Amino acid sequence: MVKGDRDPFVSIIIPAFNSEATIKDLLESLMLLDYSKDNLEIIIVDGGSTDRTMEIAKSYPVRIIVESRKGINVARNAGVKSSKGEILVFTDSDCVIPK
Protein backbone atom coordinates (compact mmCIF):
# COMPACT_ATOMS: atom_id res chain seq x y z
CA MET A 1 0.00 0.00 0.00
CA VAL A 2 1.03 3.57 -0.57
CA LYS A 3 2.01 5.49 2.54
CA GLY A 4 -1.07 7.20 3.92
CA ASP A 5 -3.45 4.59 2.57
CA ARG A 6 -5.51 2.67 5.05
CA ASP A 7 -6.58 -0.93 5.04
CA PRO A 8 -10.13 -1.26 3.71
CA PHE A 9 -12.81 -2.50 6.09
CA VAL A 10 -13.43 -6.20 5.42
CA SER A 11 -16.49 -8.26 6.34
CA ILE A 12 -16.03 -12.03 6.51
CA ILE A 13 -19.40 -13.76 6.14
CA ILE A 14 -19.76 -17.36 7.30
CA PRO A 15 -22.98 -19.36 6.91
CA ALA A 16 -23.09 -22.10 9.55
CA PHE A 17 -25.36 -25.00 10.39
CA ASN A 18 -24.46 -27.65 12.96
CA SER A 19 -20.78 -26.82 12.55
CA GLU A 20 -19.68 -27.73 16.06
CA ALA A 21 -16.86 -29.95 14.78
CA THR A 22 -15.31 -27.31 12.50
CA ILE A 23 -16.24 -23.76 13.51
CA LYS A 24 -13.56 -23.42 16.18
CA ASP A 25 -10.74 -24.21 13.74
CA LEU A 26 -12.08 -21.64 11.28
CA LEU A 27 -12.44 -18.92 13.92
CA GLU A 28 -8.98 -19.65 15.33
CA SER A 29 -7.51 -19.29 11.85
CA LEU A 30 -9.30 -15.97 11.39
CA MET A 31 -7.93 -14.69 14.71
CA LEU A 32 -4.42 -15.28 13.35
CA LEU A 33 -4.89 -13.21 10.20
CA ASP A 34 -2.29 -10.51 9.71
CA TYR A 35 -4.89 -7.79 9.23
CA SER A 36 -5.99 -4.92 11.45
CA LYS A 37 -8.78 -6.16 13.72
CA ASP A 38 -10.13 -2.58 13.69
CA ASN A 39 -10.82 -3.01 9.97
CA LEU A 40 -12.33 -6.47 10.14
CA GLU A 41 -15.69 -7.90 11.12
CA ILE A 42 -16.67 -11.54 11.24
CA ILE A 43 -20.33 -12.33 10.71
CA ILE A 44 -21.68 -15.81 11.36
CA VAL A 45 -25.13 -16.49 9.96
CA ASP A 46 -26.55 -19.50 11.76
CA GLY A 47 -29.13 -21.63 10.01
CA GLY A 48 -30.75 -22.90 13.21
CA SER A 49 -28.00 -25.13 14.56
CA THR A 50 -29.02 -27.68 17.18
CA ASP A 51 -25.49 -28.47 18.34
CA ARG A 52 -22.88 -26.27 20.09
CA THR A 53 -22.07 -24.15 17.02
CA MET A 54 -23.38 -20.90 18.47
CA GLU A 55 -21.98 -21.58 21.93
CA ILE A 56 -18.52 -21.92 20.39
CA ALA A 57 -18.97 -18.89 18.12
CA LYS A 58 -20.02 -16.67 21.02
CA SER A 59 -16.61 -17.13 22.62
CA TYR A 60 -15.04 -15.16 19.72
CA PRO A 61 -15.38 -11.51 18.67
CA VAL A 62 -18.02 -12.18 16.01
CA ARG A 63 -21.47 -10.94 15.17
CA ILE A 64 -24.14 -13.62 14.98
CA ILE A 65 -27.28 -13.51 12.88
CA VAL A 66 -29.89 -16.27 13.02
CA GLU A 67 -31.73 -17.26 9.84
CA SER A 68 -33.26 -20.57 10.87
CA ARG A 69 -33.49 -23.20 8.16
CA LYS A 70 -33.62 -20.86 5.20
CA GLY A 71 -30.61 -22.19 3.31
CA ILE A 72 -27.09 -21.09 2.52
CA ASN A 73 -28.07 -18.47 -0.08
CA VAL A 74 -30.40 -16.71 2.35
CA ALA A 75 -27.66 -16.89 4.98
CA ARG A 76 -25.11 -15.28 2.66
CA ASN A 77 -27.55 -12.54 1.68
CA ALA A 78 -28.39 -11.84 5.33
CA GLY A 79 -24.68 -11.49 6.01
CA VAL A 80 -24.30 -9.04 3.12
CA LYS A 81 -27.22 -6.92 4.34
CA SER A 82 -25.74 -6.80 7.82
CA SER A 83 -22.16 -6.15 6.74
CA LYS A 84 -20.28 -2.87 6.93
CA GLY A 85 -17.33 -3.90 4.80
CA GLU A 86 -15.94 -2.27 1.70
CA ILE A 87 -14.75 -5.77 0.81
CA LEU A 88 -16.88 -8.86 1.42
CA VAL A 89 -15.27 -12.26 1.92
CA PHE A 90 -17.29 -15.47 2.01
CA THR A 91 -16.11 -18.73 3.50
CA ASP A 92 -17.75 -21.87 4.80
CA SER A 93 -17.73 -23.03 8.39
CA ASP A 94 -15.64 -26.11 7.56
CA CYS A 95 -12.72 -24.15 6.09
CA VAL A 96 -9.46 -23.00 7.65
CA ILE A 97 -7.92 -19.79 6.38
CA PRO A 98 -4.14 -19.77 5.86
CA LYS A 99 -2.12 -16.88 7.29
Break the chain into its structural domains and give their ranges.
15-90
Per-residue pLDDT tens digits for 22-70: 999 999 999 999 999 999 999 999 999 999 999 999 999 999 999 988 8
Burial of 55 (0-12, 13-18, 19+ CB in 10 A): exposed
CA distance 10 to 44: 14
Which amino acid, 96?
V
User: pLDDT band for position 99 (50/70/90)?
Assistant: confident
